[in-house]
Structure 1
């Protein structure tokens, strides 16, 4: 049945994508500010699709044979997460200014580059999409693995627009500086926790 691999892929993709992480936090924050939502959502969506397709095609096996590549990505991810956490915590100390300037990235280029970095410098995204999804897809054979991958891509295509454009409806609740202080503090702490988790030896 062609439908089963698609549903299995959708369920697997959703379970991996929905977990709140640095990427989702940024998309959510972008949606709340209602600025640069479409390009940020597209970056995350297209990136996930590329990585999932690569995993289904079998590139995930290459990462298991070159662990040094994941190690480099891991430390780049630690550095970026710490840097972005510091920026978020600094914003939390001046929420009044944050509300005044729209609480968003100042340019579409900066927003897009941040989305790219949070996606491609996160080693977990390679393990989730290329290795895990690729491995699970392979169990369905041909052409089932591609149907499985398509299901995972659909999950991504549903999730990112949902939190990006759906979050905009909460914008009216975030006009107070105290609300943004909480949002950025939570994001900053979460990013630091993720950075420490990545840095710890395995």
Structure 2
């Protein structure tokens, strides 16, 4: 349960920052029927979860065969995670109501796929972060952690869709800024935790 909850915490902190996918989900919930908003959220969840699984198991499997690569990914991964967290702490959340969300479902699917799977930065960041966490976990606990991460994606996108649908008139830039601050602090904490694991592995060799 400890590693599952850790996965949920890290997953929420990583998925919640307001990026293009989140803005699309938010604007859909603000301007479309609730059924359409939930369908859009499910599409985004699918691509987020598949990317997380690919990053976690793909990079993690390679690292198990090379201790040097494991150390390198832990070091680089911790730096990237800390950098992402600092960026969130410094960023300003803002609602972008200009996004066109009245588009066919097929376009929603293809756009979510392209933004997720054809975004090199998303793949690199996801691989480094989740790969680094796999290196820091006991081998038998990896499934619990990634189950938490994928659950976080489901909880976040369905939760934010529900919240905005119900409280759309009260959802402001200040709330987005608050989300970024909380998530940034959590990500920095986990980045430091990864760096500490790296130090421990180096000193124990």
- Name structure 2 gaps, 5 residues minimum: 29-36, 102-110, 197-205
SS in 1 for 2:137: helix
SS in 2 for 1:175: helix
Residues 63 and 74 of structure 1: is their aligned pair in 2 closer, same or farther, counting only changes over 3 Å? Answer: farther
1:67 aligns with 2:71: yes
Instruction: Find the aligned partners of 1:82 and 1:42 in 2 and give their Cα distance.
Output: 28
1:18 aligns with 2:8: yes
SS in 2 for 1:100: coil
Instruction: Find the aligned partners of 1:46 and 1:109 in 2 and give their Cα distance.
Output: 10
Instruction: Find the aligned partners of 1:159 and 1:45 in 2 and give their Cα distance.
Output: 9
Residues 53 and 81 of structure 1: is their aligned pair in 2 closer, same or farther, counting only changes over 3 Å? Answer: same
Q: Match of 2:98?
A: 101
- Name structure 1 gaps, 5 residues minimum: 1-10, 92-97, 138-147
SS in 2 for 1:67: helix
Residues 78 and 68 of structure 1: is their aligned pair in 2 closer, same or farther, counting only changes over 3 Å? Answer: same
TM-score of the superposed pair, with normalisation by structure 1: 0.55
Instruction: Find the aligned partners of 1:192 and 1:59 in 2 and give their Cα distance.
Output: 27
Report the RMSD for the aligned CA atoms in angstroms: 4.3
Q: Match of 2:157?
A: 164
Aligned pair partner of 1:41 in 33, 42, 45? 45
Q: How far did residue 29 of structure 1 move? A: 4.4
SS in 2 for 1:19: helix
Residues 109 and 130 of structure 1: is their aligned pair in 2 closer, same or farther, counting only changes over 3 Å? Answer: same
Instruction: Find the aligned partners of 2:100 and 2:167 in 1 and give their Cα distance.
Output: 10
Residues 131 and 121 of structure 1: is their aligned pair in 2 closer, same or farther, counting only changes over 3 Å? Answer: closer
Instruction: Find the aligned partners of 1:82 and 1:43 in 2 and give their Cα distance.
Output: 26
Residues 60 and 51 of structure 1: is their aligned pair in 2 closer, same or farther, counting only changes over 3 Å? Answer: farther
Q: How does 1:115-194 map to 2 (within 5 A)?
A: 116=123, 119-122=126-129, 125-132=130-137, 135-136=139-140, 149=143, 157-176=150-169, 179-194=171-186
Q: Is the 8 A contact 1:33 1:168 kept in 2?
A: no
Q: Is the 8 A contact 2:164 2:171 kept in 1?
A: no
Instruction: Find the aligned partners of 1:190 and 1:63 in 2 and give their Cα distance.
Output: 33
SS in 1 for 2:9: coil
Cα deviation digits, residues 10-57 of structure 1 (max 9, x gap): x56632322154323148945444476455423431233234534885
Q: Is the 8 A contact 1:32 1:167 kept in 2?
A: yes
Q: Is the 8 A contact 1:78 1:196 kept in 2?
A: yes
